[in-house]
Amino acid sequence: MHPTPLQRALAEAPDTARAQAARPEEEFFIFTLGPLTMAVTSQHVREVTRLTQPTPLPRAPSFLVGVVGSRGQVLPVVDLLRFLQQGEAKVLGGARMFIGESSGLIVGFVADQVVGLRRIFVADKLPPPAGGLAASEFLSGLVQHRELGTLSLIDLPKVMHAARALVVRR
């Protein structure tokens, strides 16, 4: 007796749901600074806190706005707008600081507003704009986000290590 179509289909049926084609995504920490909305991979962000007025360091490059105390630790604070040569951050009362961590380096970064965490499909990442802008070197890409507009994806470890190299070289 020949099996019916249903019996054939049942014979081929898997025991569990087949995995759908994976669409890789990454989690980003998103914040605004000046006119830009920036995103950094969340694995490099340790903490977000209110930014107290930094203590300026003599002879420091302009992107290093100073040091602050945080949980008994002294942390350098970087203005990403200055570092990327995109203007300068205004450290106002409501400013925030997120603490980035990479290979033993711990650095605070100024943020105007914290948007939060978002998952972004890797396939949605566009390459950084060409043209030799200083900022492009530290961008891992751009994303056109339906809700948030253009996101600049910052390569935070690269920024931290380049910033340190610039500071130490002085």
CA–CA gap between residue 168 and residue 3 (Å, rounded): 77
CA distances to 24, 130, 149 from 144, in Å = 17, 17, 6
- Please identify which residue in 5, 35, 94, 104 interacts with other proteins, judged by CB under 8 A: 104
Token pair, residue 101, equals 């961590």
- Please identify which residue in 26, 34, 57, 135 interacts with other proteins, judged by CB under 8 A: 57
Per-residue binding string, other proteins, 25-54, x by CB under 8 A, is ---------------------------x--
Q: Taking CB under 8 A as the rule, does residue 64 contact other proteins?
A: yes
Strands 105-111 and 36-41: unpaired
Residue 89: Cβ within 10 Å count: 23
Q: Taking CB under 8 A as the rule, does residue 87 contact other proteins?
A: no
Contact region for other proteins (CB under 8 A) — 23-31, 32-40, 68-76, 147-155?
Answer: 68-76
If the CB atoms of residues 76 and 128 are measured against other proteins, the closer one turns out to be 76
3-state SS track over 1-12: CCCCHHHHHHHH
Contacts with other proteins by CB under 8 A lie at 52, 55-62, 64, 67-70, 72-76, 104-107, 160, 163-164, 167-168
